Structure 1
Amino acid sequence: MMPGDTIRPIAPADDAAMAAIIRTVMPEFGASGQGFAINDPEVDWMSRAYSEPRHAYFVFERGGVVLGGAGVAPLAGGDGDVCELRKMYFLPEARGLGAGATMMTRCLDAARAAGFAQCYLETLRGMDAAMRLYERSGFRRIDGPMGATGHGGCNTFYLRDL
């Protein structure tokens, strides 16, 4: 990250930017159609969705422009001590800057502060840089999905103790 880059909690004014980022990045990795977050109605009102208890969403901003984000929330249909790392997407110009690692630390800190014991995530084969970040951050691959995320298109699963 460079001086002036910031990671901060999402605000209502960021909703349109994050929706556009998610809808731009997902098809880049073949994630379109049913079973992917691109069709999740929460994409259009992220600030409201993540204002609930034990939810947090952060945006990465450079020069006043939102270039990515990520969050944590309780794992739907899962054990109450497991959260899910959700909607971690960055535009190409934000990749390779260390923003992902810094964002990951911020999200995992928020998860611990909310009382979670483990963090789960789902992704797609082919998202190699993201998977390297997950593994460097202490996530380990698991055999199958947990909870009821509704993201049936995902095919790679990770879990991390907090």
Structure 2
Amino acid sequence: MTEITIRPIQEKDNKEVAEMIRHVLVEKGAPKVGTAYEDKALDQLFETYHKERSEYFVLLEGDRILGSAGISPLDNGDPKVCELQKMYFDPSARGRGLGMQMMKTCLDFARAQEFQVCYIETLPSMKAAQKLYQKTGFDYISDRMGDTGHYSCTIFMKKELN
């Protein structure tokens, strides 16, 4: 059995992570506009998350990237609020408990950065993701927080990090 590791993104991971995320978005039938698909940051995640109170993690099986997710302060939001961003998994990673491992890594990082609330947006069609978020303590909220630019994402959730 190949070892599973989660570590901060490295510059050399940028291309592989962007390809994996775009593949998942297409697979899930997500719109290419108003989602992470068109984010300029998607092709330079290492550089994008190389700032204070931010980290982007990759999940590897051996040396193959099977998933990724990041934590960053919520744009134009309360400084006590972070956003769980760009959490995607290759189909081969799903149903194995790896999403739960990634969530723990991200939320532990958020707490260490003294965030008090974690926010996430997703698409209505991403039911498995919503189930994972609920399982880890996220609740649905009616209004968007901050300014993510992802106007196609219409499901909003948050979790208190106490």
Q: TM-score under structure 1 normalisation?
A: 0.96
* Alignment correspondent of 2:99: 100
Residue 65, structure 1, aligned to residue 27, structure 2: no
Instruction: Tell me the distance in 2 between the aligned counterparts of 1:106 and 1:63.
Output: 18
* Alignment correspondent of 2:52: 53
Give a deviation string over 1:19-59, Cα, whole Å, max 9, x none.
00111011222223321111000000101111100001110
Q: Does the Cα contact within 8 Å between 2:2 and 2:62 map onto a contact in 1?
A: no
Instruction: Tell me the distance in 2 between the aligned counterparts of 1:11 and 1:36.
Output: 23
Gap runs ≥5 in structure 1 = none
- Whichever residue aligns with residue 66 of structure 2, its letter is L
Deviation, 1:108, is 0.3
* Alignment correspondent of 1:20: 19
Gap runs ≥5 in structure 2 = none
* Alignment correspondent of 1:87: 86
Instruction: Tell me the distance in 1 between the aligned counterparts of 2:145 and 2:117.
Output: 12
- Whichever residue aligns with residue 70 of structure 1, its letter is A
* Alignment correspondent of 2:134: 135
How many pairs align?
Answer: 161
Instruction: Tell me the distance in 1 between the aligned counterparts of 2:46 and 2:24.
Output: 19
Deviation, 1:155, is 1.1
- Whichever residue aligns with residue 152 of structure 2, its letter is G
Q: TM-score under structure 2 normalisation?
A: 0.96
> What's the % identity of the aligned pairs?
47
- Supply the RMSD in Å over aligned alpha carbons: 1.0
